[in-house]
């Protein structure tokens, strides 16, 4: 890594925004005038960048980047074993089926120097449901289902939910549940983490500086620059050229080549990320359950893992949860590859090629499936291409394309496409409720399938209301069985993350939920 001054790094960010820019640019300028030379600034290539110039950590996906960058923190965290640990709250307890009491950690400072108090925590969470505020987050609001927040004293507060919600405490580990103080033009994002927000350029860069008064100890780095590079091959070239020090999401085939030659500073770790197809079930050809079942049987998941991930980046998915989630996975489920059975299912359902043009039909119309995915994760495009080839063996015409994530969701919702290949962390909170409730509940905001199953809705509600883990396991086993029978989404493989550094990165670990990265221990040799 080339030694650079924070003055140079952040002044360059100021020039990129232009002198007329307000907010982050003014911070860049103010900080660049400080007579502080940073010995250690690390540049990290990530697949996705900030969504705005002032990305509120509580909104949409901003929290994931902010949490990784060490800017924002939650009341409760997830360790590397996916177990909860006290974070900003030093203690928490369930005092009734609908009430949770939290005691805040002492001597925690915000980046503006003020103290963490119960009133600031209450104010931060109240913004989640404010449509006029940058923190507005209807998805998290639904997951938390908060009725009231009562302050008992400066360090103690009680959250009351509308209904018993066993997933509540786990939902508080989600990065968007971060505690943020209202900002100013000089410091628009005021968190409590080891690094202070400096600037952001939408979909490009996110810059921070160290927070010397961090409650967990002064960081070893003086600053971090996150460089959004969606193309993994371009990110690898940037690493080779010395423009970045670490690539978090390296190309799996390139990583396999490094492993074969025992080259490079390599990191790998299993995650809870699932590559899956969200399927339009409400209308169109995939309203047919038989067709959905045949498609799953026609996917050679072993082949996809070997071809798209070079055999180093994942495992075939038999359920929505990976094998590492032993507490929740339904181990009795098996996603078989069986073309013969798939063809039999189609024939039995009357989905046949009646005019001998090679394409099966439903109600006299050729089945044409439009599949789409997005850039940012190297394995998505080859998975899409392999799927196209595999499904052609079933007599299905498949058209594939790449688009923008939200545009794909909109197209799926409108029935313009039939399958959207995505990559989600199925348990970023460590709890089984998040993924099915977010995607498959009939009222869920991300249910672009149009899937409506009253039995599943009831089970999801029962799962949230049950506090006994043994009884919850039975419920979520059944939920997984319904998914494996109905296929409103089709699991493909569980992803491992592979990263490569320049040989100087220290203190870096891949978190199973992929939501943690920057820490006081993260470092780079000079």
pLDDT digits (tens, 9 = 90+) for 128-140: 999 999 999 998 9
SS3 assignment for 467-506: CCHHHHHHHHHHHHHHHHHHCCEEEEEEEEEEEEECCCEE
What's the average model confidence in pLDDT over 142-170?
96
pLDDT at 82 over 90: no
**431 neighbors 170 (Cβ within 8 angstroms):** yes
What's the average model confidence in pLDDT over 71-85?
94
**200 neighbors 50 (Cβ within 8 angstroms):** yes
Digit-coded pLDDT (tens) for 40-53: 999 999 999 999 99
List, in sequence order, every residue forming a beta bridge with 506; answer none if it has no partner: 523
Residue 313, pLDDT score:
80
What's the average model confidence in pLDDT over 242-266?
95
pLDDT at 520 over 70: yes
**106 neighbors 90 (Cβ within 8 angstroms):** yes
Residues in contact with 427: Cβ distance below 8 Å, sequence separation at least 6, in sequence order: 82, 272, 321, 325, 328, 434, 435, 513
Alpha-helix residue ranges (DSSP H) falling in 263-379: 289-297, 301-309, 339-348
Q: Helices then strands (H, E): number in the chain?
A: 16, 21
- On the question of a common fold for 6-244+502-524 and 272-495, the answer reads no
- In terms of DSSP bridges, do strands 195-201 and 205-210 run parallel, antiparallel, or are they unpaired? antiparallel
Digit-coded pLDDT (tens) for 323-367: 878 889 999 999 999 999 999 999 999 999 999 999 999 999 999
Least confident interval from 15-24, 214-223, 376-385, 490-499: 15-24
Task: Kindly state the percentage of the chain with pLDDT values over 90.
Answer: 83
Chain length of the chain = 526
Q: How far apart are CA 72 and CA 181, in angstroms?
A: 10
What is the pLDDT confidence band of residue 269, given thresholds at 50, 70 and 90?
A: very high
What is the pLDDT confidence band of residue 428, given thresholds at 50, 70 and 90?
A: confident
Digit-coded pLDDT (tens) for 186-237: 999 999 999 999 999 999 999 999 999 999 999 999 999 999 998 989 999 9
Task: Kindly state the percentage of the chain with pLDDT values over 70.
Answer: 93
The residue that leads in pLDDT, 5 or 460, is 460
**Cα separations (Å) of 270 from 260, 315, 324, 369, 425?**
20, 10, 8, 32, 11
What's the average model confidence in pLDDT over 476-495?
97
Residue 39, pLDDT score:
80
Dihedral sign, CA of 432, 433, 438, 442?
A: positive
Which sequence spans correspond to the domains of the chain? Answer: 6-244+502-524, 272-495
Domain 272-495 homologous superfamily, CATH:
Dipeptide-binding Protein; Domain 3 (3.10.105.10)
What is the pLDDT confidence band of residue 4, given thresholds at 50, 70 and 90?
A: very low
What's the whole-model pTM score? 0.80
What's the average model confidence in pLDDT over 386-415?
97
Q: How far apart are CA 422 and CA 63, in angstroms?
A: 19
Digit-coded pLDDT (tens) for 281-322: 999 999 999 999 999 999 999 999 999 999 888 899 999 998
Topology of domain 6-244+502-524 in CATH is: D-Maltodextrin-Binding Protein; domain 2 (3.40.190)
The residue that leads in pLDDT, 489 or 143, is 489
CA 167, 168, 174, 177: dihedral to nearest 10 degrees?
A: 170
3-state class of 195 per DSSP? Answer: strand
Instruction: Extract the tokens encoding 363.
Output: 């109600």
Q: How far apart are CA 454 and CA 219, in angstroms?
A: 50
What is the pLDDT confidence band of residue 20, given thresholds at 50, 70 and 90?
A: very low
Residue 304, pLDDT score:
96
Residue 324, pLDDT score:
75
Q: How far apart are CA 64 and CA 60, in angstroms?
A: 9
What's the average model confidence in pLDDT over 101-117?
98
**Cα separations (Å) of 419 from 37, 117, 121, 425, 463?**
51, 46, 40, 19, 28
Residue 315, pLDDT score:
92
Q: Which of 395, 392, 317 is nearest to 349 (CA)?
A: 395
Containing H/E element for 250?
none
**472 neighbors 460 (Cβ within 8 angstroms):** no
What's the average model confidence in pLDDT over 388-407?
97
pLDDT at 10 over 70: no
Q: Which of 91, 94, 153, 93 is nearest to 122 (CA)?
A: 153
């Amino acid at each position: 890594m080339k030694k650079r001054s924070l003055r140079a790094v952040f002044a360059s960010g100021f020039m990129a925004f232009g002198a007329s820019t307000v907010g982050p640019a003014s911070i860049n300028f103010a900080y660049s005038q400080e007579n502080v030379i940073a010995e250690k600034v690390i540049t990290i290539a990530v697949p996705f960048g900030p969504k705005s110039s002032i990305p509120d950590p509580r909104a949409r996906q901003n929290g994931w980047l902010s949490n990784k960058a060490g800017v924002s923190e939650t009341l409760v965290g997830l360790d590397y074993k996916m177990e909860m640990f006290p974070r900003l709250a030093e203690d928490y307890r369930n005092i009734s089926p609908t009430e949770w009491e939290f005691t805040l950690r002492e001597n925690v400072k915000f980046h503006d120097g003020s103290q963490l108090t119960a009133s600031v925590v209450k104010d931060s969470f109240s913004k989640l449901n404010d449509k006029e505020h940058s923190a507005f987050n209807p998805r998290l609001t639904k997951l938390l289902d908060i009725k009231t927040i009562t302050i008992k004293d400066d360090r103690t507060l009680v959250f009351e939910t509308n209904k018993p919600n066993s997933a509540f405490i786990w939902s508080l580990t989600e990065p968007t549940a971060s505690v943020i103080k209202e900002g100013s033009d000089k410091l628009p994002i005021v968190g409590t983490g080891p690094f202070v927000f400096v600037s952001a350029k939408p979909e490009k860069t996110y810059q921070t500086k160290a927070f010397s008064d961090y409650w967990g100890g002064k960081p070893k780095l003086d600053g971090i620059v996150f460089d959004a590079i969606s193309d993994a091959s371009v990110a690898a070239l940037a690493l080779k050229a010395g423009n970045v020090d670490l690539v978090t999401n390296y190309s799996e085939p390139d990583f396999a080549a490094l492993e074969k030659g025992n080259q490079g500073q390599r990191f790998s770790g299993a995650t809870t990320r699932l590559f899956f197809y969200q399927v339009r079930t409400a209308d169109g050809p995939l309203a047919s359950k038989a067709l959905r079942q045949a498609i799953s049987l026609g996917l050679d998941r072993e082949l996809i893992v070997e071809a798209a991930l070079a055999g180093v980046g994942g495992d075939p998915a038999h359920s929505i949860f990976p094998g590492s989630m032993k507490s929740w996975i339904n181990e009795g489920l098996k996603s078989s590859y069986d073309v013969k059975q798939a063809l039999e299912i189609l024939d039995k359902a009357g989905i046949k090629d009646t005019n001998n043009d090679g394409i099966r039909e439903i109600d006299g119309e050729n089945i044409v499936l439009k599949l789409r995915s997005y850039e940012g994760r190297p394995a998505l495009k080859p998975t899409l291409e392999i799927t196209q080839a595999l499904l052609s063996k079933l007599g299905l015409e498949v058209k594939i394309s790449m688009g923008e994530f939200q545009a794909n969701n909109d197209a799926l919702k409108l029935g313009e496409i039939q399958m959207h290949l995505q990559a989600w962390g199925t348990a970023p909170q460590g709890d089984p409720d998040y993924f099915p409730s977010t995607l498959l509940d009939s009222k869920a905001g991300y249910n672009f399938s149009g899937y409506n199953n009253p039995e599943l809705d009831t089970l999801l509600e029962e799962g949230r209301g049950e506090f006994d883990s043994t009884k919850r396991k039975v419920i979520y086993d059944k939920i997984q069985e319904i998914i494996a029978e109905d296929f409103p989404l089709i699991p493909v493989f569980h992803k491992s993350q592979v990263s490569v550094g320049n040989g100087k990165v220290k203190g870096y670990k891949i978190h199973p939920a992929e939501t943690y990265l920057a820490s006081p221990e993260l470092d780079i040799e000079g």
